[in-house]
Amino acid sequence: MTVSALTLQLLTAEDPAGLLPAREQMALSLGWHIVLACFGVAFPAMIFVVHRRGIVRDDPVALGLAKRWSKVSAVLFAIGAVSGTVLSFEMGLLWPGLMGPFGDVLGLPFAFEGLSFFVEAIFLGIYLYGWGRMPPRRHLLMLLPMATAGVVGTFCVISVNAWMNAPAGFTMVDGEVTNVDPWAAMFNDLAFMQFLHMWVAAFMVVGFTVSGVYAVGMLRGRRDAHHRLGFIVPFVFATVAALTQPFIGHLLGGNLGDRQPAKLAAFELAETTESPSPLRIGGVLVDGEVRWAIDIPVLGSLIAQNSFTEPVPGLDTIPPEDQPPVNFTHWAFQTMIGVGTLLAGAVLLFWLLRWRGRDLLERRWFLRFAATAGPLAVVALEAGWIATEVGRQPWVVYGVLRTTEAAGSNSGLWWLLGATVVVYAGMTTGAVVVLRSMARRWRAGETDLPSPYGPEPREEVAR
Amino acid sequence: MTLPMLVVAALFVGVLAYALFGGADFGSGFYDLTAGGAVKGAELRTLVDHSIGPVWEANHVWLIYVLVMWWTAFPETFASTMSTLILPMLLALLGIVLRGASFAFRKYAGTLGQARLFGAVFAVSSVVTPFFLGAVAGAIASGRVPATGRGDLWSSWLNPTSLFGGAIAVGTCAFLAGTFLTADAVRSGAERLSEELRRRTLAVGVVTGAVVFAALVPLTRDAPTLTDGLAGRAAPLVVLSGLAGTATLVLLVRRRPAVARITALGAVAAVVLGWGVAQYPYLLVDEITIADAAGAPATLRALLVAVVLAGVIVVPALTYLFRLTQSEEWTHS
């Protein structure tokens, strides 16, 4: 119901023809790419750990994992690279009203992101093809520039999104952008905290997803050293990330009430200003009234404003034309919080029991949960992006440029959206088919995975 | 040199690098596509895999670099170009997506049937993509992209200059890839394969050269500003390109593909550079100059910082990658 409500809300306004398809297009391509971007950011660090262990401790199990993960990353990074390119094109194709006037304000971080993408792609090529062709220790070190590039790249891209929430580095004079300071735009107030939030989220997504793969293996009775190590390394990364994330999220949202009161009101489903504000769980806003919500008194003020009395400003203080789609934002936000809390609780339970000498990896219910933790982390990631993006509406640059002004007039974009759905569905299917066949062949004892298209391999070379 | 000129020069280095190295990766799709059946083409396709596998993603980033530099330094022209040329841009993008994804999928495909499917998608999209990028260049060079707003959706890129631009892009990509693949085949000792590639590269080179000459006539009518520049300021580059192209053919005939790579790069670089020099001082021909299109000076200065960093970080890393792929240990799979 929320999606159709959003659609209705959008359709009823006087919007340029290119607006709604552009938004759906952006949501699809960004929502798809962000999952792969997570792998680009977090996977090299995990591969580094197992690869290093393989070399330093002369551990063939760890080295085997590193080889497999590097082949998986070859597939994931390739589709991540091309889906990222889609976004570069879309910036101009879908949002001429943003890129024309503001390109020189927001563009600089993208230039640095381009550099980190270069570094990542170069060292990925060296790492993937370096197996058996380089001194092992130098080969291992090739992962470090990739991991570093992941940090820098995340900061740069997120810095642009943070700028859209907290615009800086320019002044508007009679509708003209003047006084441009790209450094101030890049290092805006939100950039660092929002970067941390996303960077840690990447480790949650990848950590839980990869450990989930080995949890499935253990569920099917494959309880060897390979599966235990393959589970535990990414799970440790995910643990640290899942336990830090609530604090980062809280700090990021700290002064949201001052910065973007409409977004906070939507997050908290605050129709009116109540002092102290309750924490409102669930619920739907129908005709200006909150229905079916569970209210926990005072907690809303405490979490959102760090105060026992200071209220969350209600939606009734915000002009209707400046309000985001409330229900959609609220539910997306609470989905993120709910899933994040669940995942943090689960890892806490795992390590507490392990400390007490009980291993949850022996429990089928926990393995089943661990297998779903990856998809759950993806849900939290997507919900978080929906919350922040839809919650910023109707603005694309908060308080400066409305989304309607950024879109073009091209109604043909619906065709583009349809084609994109087809291509992305095909790409997803291709990736799933190929990755599954890789796993199947590995289980059957193959290591090299020669291309069926190639000639018979002349000699066995690990690659 | 003025600030906008410095930035546009840095941007054009990216265009050049993408045309040469990204172009060579795309061009290999031509030989892959025409390699024959699964058994007959196996050796060539393995060579293509091995030649572009380690480098294609790095070479692809030049495109990102160009887009980012463009929208940051010359934002209004980026918006108007994207709006006007949305169709060729999207078709190029589709090709880029399909090429990259299916190349990676083919390498790890589990069955011959899947590998053939992914391989066909990879090869076709590799051949087709440069056409649309060439058409985009033709649209800009013939003055069909307005400085602001949106030009015609169709005639902006379905015109003589764009069509020839697209054809020349496809041809030069295949020509570059042919010399590179021939040299790689020679280095890895695949004699029969290198002979086959050598012959086909020669054919591609002759056809591409003929297309370039054939383009000169319609170009004078369709893109007068560009033609003036090509006949004037850029004339030495045009001559140089012709000489280097001929030298490449001669070197290929004489079985010196390793040297032919350098002359082939020179020939294509001269063509691309010639286009840039010929349309100077316009960013969008007949519409807006580089100086007028430039964004905020503070941003241009900041971009130069990024460019310097690219020179310090990316260029050495890229050189290292290229040197590794040409080394003895990396040649034999």
d(CA B25, CA A439): 29
For range B171-175, the mean pLDDT: 97
Token match 């029991």: residue? A353
Instruction: Say how many Å lie between the first and final Cα of chain B, rounded.
Output: 48
Please give the DSSP secondary-structure letter assigned to residue A95. -
Contact with chain A for residue B247, Cβ under 8 A: no
What residues 98-117 of chain B have any CB closer than 8 A to a CB of chain A?
A: 98-112, 114-116
Instruction: Please state the φ and ψ torsions of residue A77, each to the nearest 5 degrees.
Output: -70, -30
d(CA A445, CA A107): 49
The pLDDT tens digits for A344-356 are 999 999 999 999 9
E strands within A297-452? 395-397, 401-402
| Residue B296, CA distances (Å) to A183, A414, B149, B288 in order | 12, 34, 20, 16
* Distance in Å, alpha carbon of A22 to nearest chain B alpha carbon: 13
SS3 state at A282: strand
User: In chain A, which residues have their Cβ closer than 8 Å to the Cβ of B333?
Assistant: 461, 463
Predicted confidence band at A446 (pLDDT cuts at 50, 70, 90)?
confident
Q: Is B301 exposed, middle or buried (0-12, 13-18, 19+ CB in 10 A)?
A: middle
Work out whether the CA dihedral A268, A274, A276, A280 comes out positive or negative.
negative
Are residues A317 and A272 in contact, defined by beta-carbon separation less than 8 angstroms?
Answer: no
For range B158-179, the mean pLDDT: 97
The confidence score (pLDDT) of residue A14 equals 59
Predicted confidence band at A458 (pLDDT cuts at 50, 70, 90)?
very low
Q: Is A118 in contact with B314 (Cβ distance < 8 A)? A: yes
The confidence score (pLDDT) of residue A462 equals 37
Are residues A420 and A28 in contact, defined by beta-carbon separation less than 8 angstroms?
Answer: yes
Q: Is A355 exposed, middle or buried (0-12, 13-18, 19+ CB in 10 A)?
A: exposed
E strands within B47-172? none
* Distance in Å, alpha carbon of A148 to nearest chain B alpha carbon: 13
**Longest CA pairwise span in chain A (Å):** 76
The pLDDT tens digits for A424-433 are 999 999 999 9
pLDDT at A454 over 70: no
Concatenated DSSP letters of A195-250: HHHHHHHHHHHHHHHHHHHHHHHHHTT--SHHHHHHHHHHHHHHHHHHHHHHHHHH
The pLDDT tens digits for A239-275 are 999 999 999 999 998 889 889 999 999 999 988 898 8
User: In chain A, which residues have their Cβ closer than 8 Å to the Cβ of B312?
Assistant: none
For range A438-460, the mean pLDDT: 72
Are residues A65 and A49 in contact, defined by beta-carbon separation less than 8 angstroms?
Answer: no
3-state helix, strand, coil in chain A (%, to 5): 70, 5, 20
* Distance in Å, alpha carbon of B113 to nearest chain A alpha carbon: 9
Closest CB to B303: pick one of A108, A118, A430. A108
Closest CB to B53: pick one of A75, A92, A129. A129
Q: What angle do CA B124, B129, B135 make, to 5 degrees?
A: 140
Closest CB to A112: pick one of B90, B98, B306. B306
- pTM for the model stands at 0.93
d(CA B64, CA B45): 27
For range A283-291, the mean pLDDT: 86
Contact with chain A for residue B295, Cβ under 8 A: yes
Nearest CA in chain B to A406: B79
Token match 């399909």: residue? B98
The confidence score (pLDDT) of residue B62 equals 96
Nearest to A361 by CA among A227, A209, A208: A227
Predicted confidence band at A455 (pLDDT cuts at 50, 70, 90)?
low
**Longest CA pairwise span in chain B (Å):** 58
Contact with chain A for residue B206, Cβ under 8 A: no
* HSE, side-chain direction, 13 A CA sphere, residue B281: 11
The confidence score (pLDDT) of residue B333 equals 56
Q: Is A111 in contact with B96 (Cβ distance < 8 A)? A: no
Predicted confidence band at A181 (pLDDT cuts at 50, 70, 90)?
very high
Q: How far is CA A142 from the centre of its chain?
A: 25
Concatenated DSSP letters of A42-100: HHHHHHHHHHHHHHHTT-HHHHHHHHHHHHHHHHHHHHHHHHHHHHHHHHHHH-HHHHH
Are residues A77 and A40 in contact, defined by beta-carbon separation less than 8 angstroms?
Answer: yes
For range A427-450, the mean pLDDT: 90
d(CA A152, CA A84): 16
Q: Which residue out of A104, A177, A424 would a mutagenesis test of the B interface target, given it has the greatest number of B Cβ atoms within 10 Å?
A: A104
pLDDT at A13 over 80: no
ipTM tops 0.90: yes
User: In chain A, which residues have their Cβ closer than 8 Å to the Cβ of B63?
Assistant: 85, 88
SS3 state at B289: strand
